[in-house]
Structure 1
Amino acid sequence: MTINNKAILKNNDWVKGISRHGEMIIGFVDSMSLEQEAVHVVVAESDNEELIGKTIPMHFTQVEVIPTAATKNAGELEFLIDLALATGDKDWFEELSAELNEKKQAVN
């Protein structure tokens, strides 16, 4: 889905934005509702710590896709693995773990 002619939004995309209550949000798209023009974002970081780990609805215009880096270092991968565990995302955990193992094997 195109947002403000900027990017195509998909499930599992990392997004940032400001909630309707003015809170800074960074998280990933869990689901979308075309009828309501909303995305449901699992909050990974926020200036309102009570929101972290919760899924909140946000209007399409409130979010912006965070571009993914082409490569991640081991420290970034370990942080993301912890985040995948905290959010219960098994597929993402396995994907990140495999990427970290490849990096470790390349060093040896």
Structure 2
Amino acid sequence: MKESDWIHAYHSAGEITGYITEMSGEMLTVYVTIPSDIGEIQIKRASAWLAEEHTQMQDIPSLLDLSLLTKDKEWFEELRTDLSLREQWVRYHATR
């Protein structure tokens, strides 16, 4: 696992989904996106596992924020392009 990886984990709130913002030894700081009312938490690495390799459209704004916070211009551009293409696809199919 590394920073920016998407994970699933067990937490007192139940199963969560989020992305790693920081790693320190056996602890992970995770920004939780599902459920959406938790925010950032710390969990043990052993309670987490990698999520599948796909991004949901509703997660892209949070990822854009993270890319800005980490000053990752390349990732920001990839996300921006991905979001733009998805929005175009939605608009096209909404008019058909």
1:29 to 12, 17, 20: 20
Structure 1 stretches (4+) deviating beyond 6 angstroms? none
2:37 to 47, 50, 67: 50
Structure holding more helix per residue: 2
Cα–Cα, structure 1 residues 82 and 22, in superposed 2: closer, same or farther, change >3 Å? Answer: closer
1:3-53 Cα shifts (integer Å, max 9, x gaps)? xxxxxx00000000111x25221000001111xx1111001112xx531xx
Residue 84 of structure 1 aligns with an amino acid whose one-letter code is L
CA shift, 1:55, in A, is 1.3
Does the aligned pair in 2 maintain the 1:38–1:58 contact within 8 Å? yes
Give 1:98 deviation, angstroms. 2.1
Secondary structure of the equivalent of 1:50? Answer: coil
Shift of 1:95: 2.2
Percent identical: 25
Tell me the equivalent position of 1:40.
29
**Aligned Cα root-mean-square deviation (Å):** 2.8
CA distance in 1, matches of 2:15, 2:62: 18
Decide whether aligned partners of structure 1 residues 81 and 50 sit closer, same or farther in structure 2, where only a CA change above 3 A counts: closer
2:9–2:15 Cα contact (<8 Å) kept: yes
Unaligned runs of 5+ in 2: 89-96
Measure how far apart 1:84 and its partner are. Answer: 2.8
Change (3 A) 1:99 1:40: same
Alignment deviations for residues 63-97 of structure 1 (CA, whole Å, 9 cap, x no partner): 0101204xx7xxx44x2323335xx2224543211
